Chains A and B, each alone.
Chain A
């Protein structure tokens, strides 16, 4: 984890485009028509109060949810993607079997799976827990295992939906370090959080959502120093509530 290579900025990963993407559910608008373009190898942090539509945006981007209107598309070859959820979803198997399963699904030859899974476990500090059932690991260990699983699929784009909201400070640090590792390897990051300090530590640019509306998409430095919108300023002061 100590290679301090600058991540490549022009990676050839297809840009992701939202064109007038909207989501309605039972007559209720959850996301108003939104345009957004994510390119390069940035770490984009999606922020906003609860219910702003952060998870929705991620699920749309990852293709887990189809928009009610508009279009989500990759401008080029659809990249390899992985997603880490707020509450890690692990199979009822041992830690290592969770990893070899992901490798099997991605078509890795059987003889390579175990070795690569072991490497990933070691990388995320989980080597001693190899045979432990994944579901009885601690919250932090489970999230690291989910990150290890994502790591193995070598994603070009990684989605993280509030991956640290249920973790203690040490586990949060481990997750943030992992996000930096992914980024150094050339992975584009799209992550939601409602922790301002975390966003300051990680973000290259910020997407602010409020009430199902995209308020602004600004480079991080500018967002934190001089937000472009009234809502942005209110959010930074901690005054933006639903």
Chain B
């Protein structure tokens, strides 16, 4: 039997047997990425909506920057957070480097621009449709924000899931700021890199399968939410 077919079988055994090492890594990955997506969404949804609703000097620059940051290389985000959190850095006193918190910060920086930029697009489009009616009803601009965010809720869930996808699949940033410490900051992507280079293909492959499954699940959820919304709400 060829080595990689063997590795595949072992990987499946690890997953089905709920291997504790594998489960720990998966749990930490999900925890870090969920925290990051939650924080990023709390900041980026109002930011995106505000950019859609208000015209002010510098708005164009912010939008261009956000759009550009959507493609920010994860290693650059990681390096930035590393410099900020390292002992000599401005935030060094908190001792956050090589902790899950540092990984959450790095992922927030990666996905906040995505959620903010896509939210702005969605809200701007919806605002175009609602503007006259809302003004006719006497809705103030600050009040339009929650109204539009709520009415765009289904497309925004898709946006947030896209953010989660990017956060959980990214490796460069969490590798730099987390350090891939066993049992502390080792997540699926960094573990795959390490195990592959060690030649421990079954664990790497097992993690890869779980990651693939997770990404599939997230995309299926996004698709389902979008379809349901279109059917039910028109």
Contact = CB atoms under 8 A, between A and B. Distances in A.
Interface of A: 59, 62-64, 81-83, 85, 89, 91-93, 101-102, 105-106, 133-136, 149, 153
Given A89-B129, A101-B147, A105-B139, 6 more contacts: A82-B137, A91-B130, A91-B147, A105-B138, A133-B232, A136-B233
* 8 smallest beta-carbon distances between A and B, as pairs: A135-B234, A89-B133, A83-B136, A136-B234, A92-B151, A133-B233, A92-B233, A105-B137
Contacts of B147: 91, 101
Contacts of B232: 133, 136
Contacts, number: 45
B135 interface: yes
Nearest to A83: B136
B138 A89 contact: no
B130 A89 contact: yes
A32 to B, nearest CB: 23
Interface in B5-34: none
B227 to A, nearest CB: 14
A133 B234 contact: yes
A105 B143 contact: yes
Contacts of A106: 137-138
A153 B233 contact: no
14 contacts: A62-B136, A64-B135, A89-B129, A91-B130, A91-B147, A91-B151, A101-B147, A102-B137, A105-B138, A106-B137, A134-B234, A135-B233, A136-B234, A149-B137
A133 B234 CA distance: 8
Contacts of A91: 130, 147, 151
B136 A81 contact: yes
Nearest to B126: A92
A149 B147 CA distance: 16
Contacts of B143: 105
Contacts of A133: 232-234
